[in-house]
Every structure is written in C-alpha cells, then in structure tokens.
C-alpha cells in the first residue's frame, strides 16, 4: 500500500481530533510528512505561547511514531517541482508555491496526498484524497 502524505491542513485537523481524518489515516500503515508541511505547521505554532508550545509537543510526539516519516526536499523532488510548475504555468492553473513542493514530495515518493485544498486536483500525476 502507498504511504499517505499529509498536507498541513490535514495535520492540523488530526491534532484537533477530527475523527474523519483519524479514520482515513488509520487505514494506512505508513504516514509521511514533507519538511515543507513541518515548516508551515511550525510557523503557525508560536512557541512563546502555551497553545503554541502544546502544538509543537503534539507534533514531536506524532513524528516519533515508527509509522511516521519526514520527507526532506531533495534534488529529485526539486526536479518534480520544476515539472509541476511548468505544467501548471502552461495550463494557466496556478497553485501556491508550498503546495507545489508538497505535491512534488507526494509524486516523488509515490504517496497518496490527503488535503482539503481542491486546487491539488489540477496537478498531474498526483494521487490524492480530498477531504471536506
């Protein structure tokens, strides 16, 4: 089975105990999180506030699970990103920069992306699961 790659909005929903997300994730043996998603999540978690510190603690605990892996941006992923960028530009279907990186990670590692952002549907070769 393919791994499941989490978008930032799904990671946030998971940590807010969204049962719909938890049910989907529980069907996968392997969960992967791109370093870009970690950056987005950490940018929104203010470590100077109690809530932000708690969010970061929950993230670290989640990442410590043996079934969860982190995907660093590699040269291969950069090449996939470039292809995605060119195709979307040619098609006139812009997608936020970070989401192109997230999609490139999913395509490169052969993962299914889970997100609530419908614009991912315009990215070719991307296996995805949209959640509302």
Residues present in the chain in total = 132
Give the CATH number, domain containing residue 79.
Answer: 3.40.50.1010
Residue 23 above 90 pLDDT? yes
The H-or-E segment that residue 110 falls in is none
The pLDDT tens digits for 39-72 are 999 999 999 999 999 999 999 999 999 999 999 9
> 83-122: per-residue pLDDT in tens?
999 999 999 999 999 999 999 999 999 999 999 999 999 9
Angstrom distance (rounded) from CA 38 to CA 89: 26
Q: Is 120 exposed, middle or buried (0-12, 13-18, 19+ CB in 10 A)?
A: buried
Q: What is the pLDDT of residue 44?
A: 94
Indicate the number of domains in the chain. Answer: 1
- Residue 44's domain spans which residues? 4-130
């Amino acid at each position: 089975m393919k791994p499941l790659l989490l978008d930032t909005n799904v990671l946030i929903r998971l940590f807010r105990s969204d049962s719909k997300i938890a049910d989907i994730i529980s069907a996968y043996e392997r969960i992967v999180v791109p370093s870009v998603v970690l950056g987005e999540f950490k940018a929104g978690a203010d470590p100077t506030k109690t809530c932000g510190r708690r969010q970061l603690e929950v993230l670290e605990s989640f990442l410590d699970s043996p079934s969860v892996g982190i995907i660093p941006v590699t040269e291969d992923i950069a090449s996939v990103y470039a292809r995605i960028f060119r195709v979307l530009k040619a098609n006139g279907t812009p997608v936020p920069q970070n989401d192109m990186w997230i999609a490139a990670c999913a395509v490169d590692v052969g993962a299914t992306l889970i997100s609530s952002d419908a614009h991912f549907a315009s990215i070719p070769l991307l296996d995805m699961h949209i959640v509302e």
